[in-house]
Every structure is written in C-alpha cells, then in structure tokens.
Amino acid sequence: MITVIGSINMDLAVQMGVFPKQGETILGKEFQTIPGGKGANQAVAAARLGSEVAMIGCVGSDSFGETLRTVLQQEHIQTGAITSTSVPTGIANILIYNNDNRIIVVPGANYELKPAHIEAAKEIIQKSQMVIMQLEIPTETTAYAIKLCKEANVPVLLNPAPATNFDVQWMEDITYITPNETECAEIFGDDFDQVLEKYPNKMIITLGSDGARYFDGEYPIHVPGYMTKVVDTTGAGDTFNGALAFALIEGQSLDQAVYFANIAASLSVEKFSAQGGMPTLGSVYGRMAGVGE
C-alpha cells in the first residue's frame, strides 16, 4: 500500500482572449474546475496503475472539499485520513491566455494539515510500503511525517516542490528524492553530476521530455524520455512520481522503475489536465510493448 501525504486543490481555470488590465473587467471564454494539488495528483497516478492508496490531507468543509473527496474515492483512494476544516479548500486560480499561464495558489486548508493529523494517521503510515510526499503542506508537518516514517522503517519518496519548503536535513532520512532541474538547482546547485554522485540511488532528477537521470553508485544513468505529441504537460511530474512509487513497491529495480515512470508520464502529457491523462497499468505496458504505436 502507498500512502500519499499532501495537498488537495481545486484548480479554477479561466481561458481568456486577453489578460485584464488593472481595474478592468473582461469576458472570459471558458471556465473549468479541475481537481489538482500535487498530493492528490500523485495519489491518483499511483491508484490508476493499480496501487492500493491512502491519502492524508486536509480540505475545507465546503463544496470543493466534498467534490475532491468524491473524486479521490472514485479512483478507489482511501479518504478516511482526509480532514475537513473550517478553512476553505486550497485552490489554484489559473488564468490562461494563449500559451501564457498566470497562476495564484491559495493553500487554504492544505496549510491546516498539522503534525497531530499525521500522528492520528500513524497506523496507516506504519502499514504502508511507501509514503509519497511533496511540499505543499506546512514544513513542520513534512518534518514530522518523515520522522515517523523513519521510526516505522517506511521508505519515503519526496518530490521537493515547491523547492522553497525543502530542508536539506531531511536528506538522511528519505529514501528517494525527485526534483526537476529547476528544483534541483535551487536546492542543491546546478552541478548536477556532483549532486547526483553525492546521493547515489536516492536522487532522481527529472528532465522533462529528456526523461530522468540518477547515479547508481558507479555510473551516471540517463533513462531517456519517451518522445510523444504533447497536449498538456501539467501533472507530468506527478504521474512520474506516482508511477515510480508503484514500480518500486512492485519490486522493480530503480532503472526499470524510472523507465516505467517515464512511460507513464509520457502518456499523461498526451491528454488535457493533470489527472485526466494519468494512465492505467494496461496502457503503460501497452506502450512498453509497442502496442498501438
């Protein structure tokens, strides 16, 4: 079983023909509410591949919170450890004009996820084969969860986004870390060869369409991405992380697991929205076998 500790958001996306100027009101073209939040996205990615998944998080006692809980349940994700609070559900307000996105995130209820909630969900964590975390919740909560996982001997896969919430002291206690290039440069510096050598078989840097790289203790390993036609890359990283965790607890080697995660993420970029494009196990194996290519 995989437990995901993290954010649950409703994305409010408005397509427009022009951005409004200060004080101006304009008519938008289209409005969509799209389930998101890195935590929820990574939980859906792992669940759709067939993992048993439990989510620990916090939503508001409002309609977005209810909807998001239902969306997770429809993906067969256990939601018993998702707390409802009086603070509104986290949202991302996304303004889209051509290829330009302007995004405002209001963490809301996500920042109400406290160490006490992690403690209350201890039993779920203790029986997990892996815990996935990102950094869209309070730093003290992340720190507490990492400590609890260490005590319970449960491997942690940490996706350090946003990088500003990362604490380098966690490196000793986590099992895998999956920054993208920007996050890696921000946290560890931009000499990626050196950084990877420092954390063999632990750090996997994702490289967008180029795939991912890590250091196996002896050699630098580059696992190329799968070239495909991109519709929307939102959630590519989340799919990669959910799929990586799935493959690792299935017993795949790191090399195989990164390859698997690249394939899963390549399928996700072919469809609109983060969760919308996340593949099933069958479609990942189909692509690996070259079926329908």
Ligand X SMILES: Nc1ncnc2c1ncn2[C@@H]1O[C@H](COP(=O)(O)OP(=O)(O)OP(=O)(O)O)[C@@H](O)[C@H]1O
Which positions lie near ligand X, rule CB under 6 A? 180, 206-209, 211-212, 225-226, 228, 230, 233-238, 240, 262, 265-266, 269
- Measured distance CA(151)–CA(165) in Å, rounded: 22
Annotated binding site for K(+): 232, 234, 268, 271
Q: What secondary structure does DSSP assign to 49-114, as a single string?
A: TT--EEEEEEEESSHHHHHHHHHHHHTTEE-TTEEEESSPPEEEEEEEETTEEEEEEE-GGGGG--
Terminal alpha carbon distance of the chain: 32
Q: Which is nearer to ligand X, 84 or 209 (CB)?
A: 209
The C-alpha angle with vertex 234 and arms to 208 and 276, in degrees rounded to 5, equals 125
- Residue keyed to tokens 């939040």: 37
Q: What is the phi-psi region of residue 98: left when phi exceeds 0, alpha when psi lies from -120 to 50, beta otherwise?
A: left
Q: Which is nearer to ligand X, 36 or 57 (CB)?
A: 36
Q: Which is nearer to ligand X, 235 or 279 (CB)?
A: 235
- Measured from the CB of residue 288, what is the shortest distance to ligand X in angstroms? 13
- Measured distance CA(33)–CA(94) in Å, rounded: 10
Annotated binding site for substrate: 9-11, 37-41, 136, 238
- Measured distance CA(284)–CA(266) in Å, rounded: 9
Residue 193 designated active-site: no
- Measured from the CB of residue 71, what is the shortest distance to ligand X in angstroms? 18
Q: Which residues neighbour 249 within 8 Å (Cβ) at sequence distance 6 or greater?
A: 2, 51, 129, 130
Identified catalytic residue from 190, 193, 238, 255:
238
Taking a C-beta distance cutoff of 8 angstroms, is the pair 71, 122 a contact?
A: no
Annotated binding site for ATP: 180, 206-211, 237-238, 262
- Measured from the CB of residue 31, what is the shortest distance to ligand X in angstroms? 22
Q: Which is nearer to ligand X, 15 or 209 (CB)?
A: 209
Select the residue whose beta carbon is closest to ligand X and give its number. 237
- Measured from the CB of residue 146, what is the shortest distance to ligand X in angstroms? 20
- Measured from the CB of residue 18, what is the shortest distance to ligand X in angstroms? 25
The residue type at 125: I
For 266, the token pair is 């390549």
Q: Which is nearer to ligand X, 21 or 229 (CB)?
A: 229
Annotated binding site: 9-11, 37-41, 136, 180, 206-211, 232, 234, 237-238, 262, 268, 271
Catalytic residues: 238
